[in-house]
Amino acid sequence: MSRESQVTLVTGGGRGIGAAVAARLSASGHRVALTARSADELETVAATLPGESLCIPADLTEPDAVDRIFAATEDAFGRVDVLVANAGAAMSAPVHKTTDEDWAWMLEVNLSAPFRCLRRAVPGMKERGYGRVVVIASAAAKRGEPLIAAYTASKHGVLGLVRSAAAELAQTGITVNAICPGYVDTPMTEGSVTNVVSRTGRNEQAVREFFANYQPTGRLITVEEVATAVQFCLDSPSVTGQGIEIDGGAVQS
Ligand code: NAP
């Protein structure tokens, strides 16, 4: 399939990593459908894309959202060749203070929503003998860190989904991979800085340095670096079932 004709669905396309992936793929000729809850953020991103795009405001945790998003994309562009399951959220709490609501939210948005998207994407991809699924997981898919047990469990879970789906689909022309970034310079990380400052009273600069130094390279990952890794997965038919670390060497596996 020529890259120019591909139709890509990016969840969480309104800001951060999703917006950068949309920009990168639109510049390579993809028609891009963007979804997230904030319609205004989607419109802002879509207005900057060089190619055709579609905005589908939706909350991925609502029961009929995934079907509605895929139906809208298929109505506009005919199919979904590439799924970038990027939408996600983070929260922090000691494990004994993690509530049932926290736990359910993390699993719903970071694990069940990517699962439902993948489940909906696969039949059409199989029929056409071609598909690319890239899930934006996290370094927390491979390594436990303090105070993020629910997030870590959801990201370990989604890497398991990726590995199993890749094994199952290996002979279909569909690849399934995860990108596992360290701390990326996005609004999510900005929110984490704000949370730590307000919870601990620590100096903001020191907290920023803490997040930068999670990466042995001593700096945050850029959204463009993550988008480059997504492009690599799209271009690499023999790369499947992988959790690719983009984390300055934090996790060596
Ligand atoms: P971000 O800046 O907070 O963007 C998250 C995107 O997901 C937004 O477009 C948000 O839009 C959307 N989203 C969140 N909840 C949603 C829901 N219920 N339904 C639909 N869309 C929803 O985050 P980011 O840093 O770009 O992170 C993107 C992905 O990378 C996430 O899966 C995250 O876990 C992962 N990741 C991030 C980092 C990091 O350091 N930033 C590191 C490793 C992995 P709305 O709020 O408008 O819905």
Residue 75 domain flag: yes
Other CB atoms within a 10 A radius of the CB of residue 75 amount to: 9
Asked if residue 248 belongs to a domain, the reply is: no
Same domain membership, residue 51 and residue 99: yes
> Which residue range forms the structural domain that includes residue 200?
184-220
Are 49 and 163 in a shared domain? Answer: yes
Q: Is residue 250 situated within a structural domain?
A: no
Same domain, residue pair 156 and 202: no
Q: Are 82 and 30 in contact (CB under 8 A)?
A: yes
Residues 128 and 208 in one domain: no
Q: What's the gap in Å between 13 CA and the centre of ligand 1? A: 8
> Domain check: are 65 and 139 in the same one?
yes
Asked if the structure places residue 107 within a domain, the reply is yes
For residue 125, being part of any structural domain is answered with yes
Same domain, 137 and 192: no
Cα separations in angstroms, 123 against 115, 127, 130 = 14, 6, 10
Cα 47 from Cα 41, distance rounded (Å): 10
Task: Evaluate whether 246 touches 182 at the Cβ level (below 8 Å).
Answer: yes
Cβ contact 138:192 at 8 Å: no
Residue owning the nearest CA to atom 46 of ligand 1: 37
**Residue in 44, 188, 213 to alter for ligand 1 test, most ligand atoms within 8 A of Cβ:** 188
- For residues 148 and 231, membership in a common domain is answered with yes
Q: What's the total number of domains in the chain?
A: 2
Which pLDDT does position 3 carry in this prediction? 44
Helix (H) or strand (E) holding 30, with range, is none
Instruction: Say if residue 140 is in the same domain as residue 213.
Output: no
pLDDT in tens, 7-64: 999 999 999 999 999 999 999 999 999 999 999 999 999 999 999 999 999 999 998 9
* Residue spans of alpha helices (H) in the chain: 16-27, 39-48, 65-77, 100-107, 113-128, 149-169, 187-200, 204-214, 223-235
Active-site amino acid positions: 151
CA–CA separation, 7 vs 80, rounded Å?
Answer: 5
- Ligand 1 center to residue 127 CA distance, Å? 30
**Is-contact 250 211, C-beta < 8 A?**
no
Tens-binned pLDDT, residue by residue, of the chain (253 aa): 554 489 999 999 999 999 999 999 999 999 999 999 999 999 999 999 999 999 999 999 998 999 999 999 999 999 999 999 999 999 999 999 999 999 999 999 999 999 999 999 999 999 999 999 999 999 999 999 999 999 999 999 999 999 999 999 999 999 999 999 999 999 999 999 999 999 999 999 999 999 999 999 999 999 999 999 999 999 999 999 999 999 999 999 8
31, exposed or middle or buried, with CB in 10 Å at 0-12, 13-18, 19+? buried
- Does residue 99 sit in the same domain as residue 191? no
Residue showing tokens 């997504």: 230
Domain annotation covers residue 150: yes
Q: What is the pLDDT of residue 2?
A: 52
Residues 128 and 201 in one domain: no
At 242 the pLDDT is: 98
Taking the C-alpha atoms of residue 54 and residue 138, their distance in angstroms, rounded to an integer, is 27
Question: Are 226 and 215 part of one and the same domain?
Answer: no
Q: Name all residues whose Cβ lies below 6 A of ligand 1.
A: 12, 14-18, 36-38, 41, 59-61, 86-90, 109, 136, 138, 181, 183-184, 186-189
CATH of the domain at 86: 3.40.50.720
